[in-house]
Structure 1
């Protein structure tokens, strides 16, 4: 096996990771070794189209399992590691923060230790070409007021949830391994992703799922919290561009240039459903919107200044929110069986806990 054709992707059965694996293989870049623990958000159905593709090697395992990661690195000799593996939902981090510390902090540390040992043993030319790319979030920067400038790579960290605090911790670890050991790391902080294969606890697939069933569409607080929305394939292309052209040790913010309130997003999804799959009685889908008690510590606004990745690397999003959201809604309509399979009894219980009566 040519060592220069192989990458190791961690968390590659999750939403962004699976989209990245598909995007990478579509480019014909080489072999993907995909390590995923298969928690509730990791789903082999996301990779079903690759089941017979010899370029995709799936291995169930945990980034915190040093022995397993050491063996994978030795066996497959990747030229890059792309780390998507993370607990990633704020609501779950509020109810079960332990999992987030274990995976996002301890797991990242163990992965870095394994990668550092592997990298230090490579021949000089391969050491020089090697990259460790850590995928993170704009939530590490905290919350903005509506009139504040967007997050840049130099914005101080100010995480407000156990999730964002755990990701901030992992980012600091990655930075330290570059500055202390010379490991050629890259970090990307992305805004809210949306697109195919997103677990329906997240806003957009949750809205589609509830709307199609005629169930109340829950909206936290007044629905005026603002996020920047990034189509997942654009994010995947950004990661690939950073792997190719990014400066070791650098951080790049990745955004979609699409700031929207949560309520705007929900109304847009409802309008698309009204257009392509109207109710028989011609009710509008937005009549299902139900405002619920806000979650604790809900950040008001995230916004990304992506000028660095554009200026240094030449990346910019190809999808507008209008084109991306319509593709996304259509994907969920076309993949109803996937949605049915992932919306288990455990998922329904979680929805009731998260959007029902809070203590």
Structure 2
């Protein structure tokens, strides 16, 4: 559409092209479309108003004249993100609204720190390549359909400082709903502090964090195994030079604890993920999602107080490349919590809740169920067994 300026009362076929360009740029005034007027070749009041509206939206001089600057801006506005493959062309960089949108996405994800100028330069190419590496895609620096699709899946949920977690998000999004075949690490607290508030015993010993968490972790493990998941040690305990080190990395790391405070009124369940305590910003988005789901299920299925989901920078949550959740299942220093945790039926309910929360982490949005409604029987449909009719999952 480049050429001499167009202004009010001009008449030519170029005015028809101008009308169409304004429509594609998002200007939706009445009587602008060529088929809505008797003579679309005339630069009438409606075209004048549309040009002024476009100029206003782009920060151009608002004079109603489609001069070189306005025509250039209109040309850039013809492409929406996803309309074409974007790449760096030496000496003649691509320009357009789609490039500006790409730069905004890259900036949001923490890869691009330049101006949002709509020009696909070297800096934008480097940012795209870095994004692709983090998504597990070839680092070509070309924003093609695969890159746009992967970006659209993660961009909605990730804040600027979470770019390093993109690979985990992409892996989670591509995974199946089944627990079968997944590697999960379940770790326990080892405190020997015993509750003075109950005479209940586990294995003939005082009620301690180690005994409670060992029992619950064992119940969780048995259910997960029957659904086909594999329990593996934490990443830190997998020898980096062992042949199975890479294949032994879990998809979720879960630390189960009980708490203790001298102030007896302290009670309730809490979940933790890797993030910034001051702002709650998640450094591990999948870990945050898992913590939320586990907390929801535990709150809905038990009578324990909910102390919420919290961001922490603990080393146990900062497992490289592995979403991690810390669960505090109550205070052994509190009479009510200790009584509940001493009850085998309650501990089974806790274990069931944890497994269901883990299962929900891998469900697609259309498969997920409201909190507290999914049963272990329902989980079976996502984890078919060859002899399902003759087997029962622990705790059903």
TM bracket, shorter-chain basis: under 0.3
- TM (norm. structure 2) is 0.25
Q: Comparing both structures, which one devotes a greater share of its residues to helix?
A: 1
TM-score, normalised to structure 1's length? 0.27
Higher RCO by CA contacts (8 Å cutoff, separation 6 or greater) = 1
